A = this chain, B = another copy of it.
Amino acid sequence: MPDAAASPLQNDAPAVPKAELIAALQQGMPAHALLWHEEDTTPYECDGLTAYRQRPLCVALPETEEQVQHVLRTCHRLRVPVVARGAGTGLSGGALPHRHGVTLSLARFNRILQVDPHSRTALVQAGVRNLAISEAAAPYGLYYAPDPSSQIACTIGGNVSENAGGVHCLKYGLTVHNVLRVRGYTIEGEPITLGSEALDAPGYDLLSLAIGSEGMLAVVMDVTVKLIPKPQLARCIMASFADVRQAGEAVANVIAAGIIPAGLEMMDKPMTAAVEDFVHAGYDLDAAAILLCESDGTPEEVEEEIGRMSEVLRAAGATAITVSQDEAERLRFWSGRKNAFPASGRISPDYMCMDSTIPRKRLADILLAIGEMEHKYGLRCCNVFHAGDGNLHPLILFDANDPDQLHRAELFGADIMETSVAMGGTVTGEHGVGVEKLNSMCVQFSPEENAQMFAVKHAFDPHGLLNPGKVIPTLQRCAEYGRMLVRGGRLPFPELERF
């Protein structure tokens, strides 16, 4: 097994002086494609996880693939870390710069190269926005299914790196289920193609391995995605429940009845109250929890499925059921869900968004456990989540200016993650590990399992230069994390500045 401690994030000294690196990079790209002054690199200091910030040594904005290869070859030769970056909307710090590294922005690779309605695929460059793919496919009645909340801004390259999901992934799958092929470069600047346009590929499934690898195995240049037909009709049920346990059980019952809704989301009372004030979605504010349960397909399919879903929800104890009567009402139902995160920002100075998963049948249990944690840590928590997937997004509300509240919020978050794992779940469903959940990987996996991941990383990137220090914790970190928990749960990242 390669030595985990070889990760450059552990190494406090830069591999080469900044001037030498800049000079080497300038030999293969125009001056305007390199940023290294503090005022120019500051906009790149964090991604959607704003709690951690760090400026890179420099930012490269290549315009051609030759320039991408030049950056990679130069960094490989000089042993300089490389962090690829799309739109920077990630929520776990996956695109957080390395203080001694190059941030490789793929923003300029933003062309849709082909939309093929016959084979129902599109070939797009890494920097193309998620929603732009569906817009380009719309004239053919097609769309790209995975729809993270950030889909207006986030790029397909980032989606591939994080294996992004969205409210429709219960029925239509995550990024890994909707991508056929990825083309890119290794850290050596060598071309690599993973997957194919045809069914399956021989040998190991390196495509699935690369999807969700958070930029640690290769740099993505373009992606062949599947397109699917836009459903003729979609209707959404809003169902009210008098207690969260019943709502959790209703979710499990819908799935157990053999129905795969196009979306199955849950919000608890604190969440609907915060959201309703903000977007006036028409939610039932008396309910302890509401479910949004969508059906799409032909009008016949939708009618039949809405009927069956309503039956299951009523049998599970729904106190009210409202079915969207037109597209405007359906979009209004969803507007509340899609604005849940910003709505939380209105009721609390800060919030911490968790992303753990649990087997669907444990939904009611985890909700009750989170309720008890609110008392234990003396902090409020709103719950909004992809219920059908068992993917929780508890939003822990706190004031970061109060160090004690921050401390309790961190303990609360760690408790949710550990409880999720104990219930057979995982520490992250769709936001990735990045830097935020590095410690939680010590909870999720044994030292041997984390070492196995390091070995896979090593097979692609022997010097550990691609996005080092992310995703896989070192043995030393896990040991320290264990000691910290014993001491009372402070979760510092000594190598990062905390904001």
Q: Give A192-234 interface residues, CB cut-off 8 Å to B.
A: 192-193, 196-206, 208-209, 211-213, 217, 228-229
Judged by a CB distance under 8 angstroms, whether A358 is at the interface is yes
B203 touching A433, Cβ below 8 Å: yes
Q: In the docked arrangement, what's the CA distance between A429 and B304, Å?
A: 36
Q: In the docked arrangement, what's the CA distance between A119 and B358, Å?
A: 12
Residue in A141, A201, A212, A455 whose Cβ sees the most chain B Cβ within 10 Å? A201
B448 touching A190, Cβ below 8 Å: yes
Q: In the docked arrangement, what's the CA distance between A193 and B206, Å?
A: 19
Q: Chain A interface residue count: which class? A: 35 or more
Q: In the docked arrangement, what's the CA distance between A255 and B199, Å?
A: 14
This protein's copies in its complex: 2
B256 touching A204, Cβ below 8 Å: no
With both beta carbons as reference points, the residue of chain B lying nearest to A176 in the complex is identified as B205
B449 touching A192, Cβ below 8 Å: yes
Judged by a CB distance under 8 angstroms, whether A452 is at the interface is yes
A200 touching B452, Cβ below 8 Å: no
Q: Which residues of B contact A430 (CB under 8 A)?
A: 199-200
A203 touching B471, Cβ below 8 Å: yes
CB of A447, distance to nearest CB on chain B (Å):
11
A211 touching B200, Cβ below 8 Å: no
B209 touching A213, Cβ below 8 Å: no
Judged by a CB distance under 8 angstroms, whether A406 is at the interface is no
Q: Which of B163, B202, B420, B426 contacts A428 (CB 8 A)?
A: B202
Q: Which residues of B contact A200 (CB under 8 A)?
A: 163, 165, 174, 212, 357, 391, 426, 428-430
Q: Give A406-449 interface residues, CB cut-off 8 Å to B.
A: 420, 424-430, 432-433, 437, 440-441, 444-445, 448-449
Q: Give A30-79 interface residues, CB cut-off 8 Å to B.
A: none
5 residue pairs of the A-B complex, CB under 8 angstroms, read: A118-B252, A163-B205, A202-B427, A202-B433, A205-B212
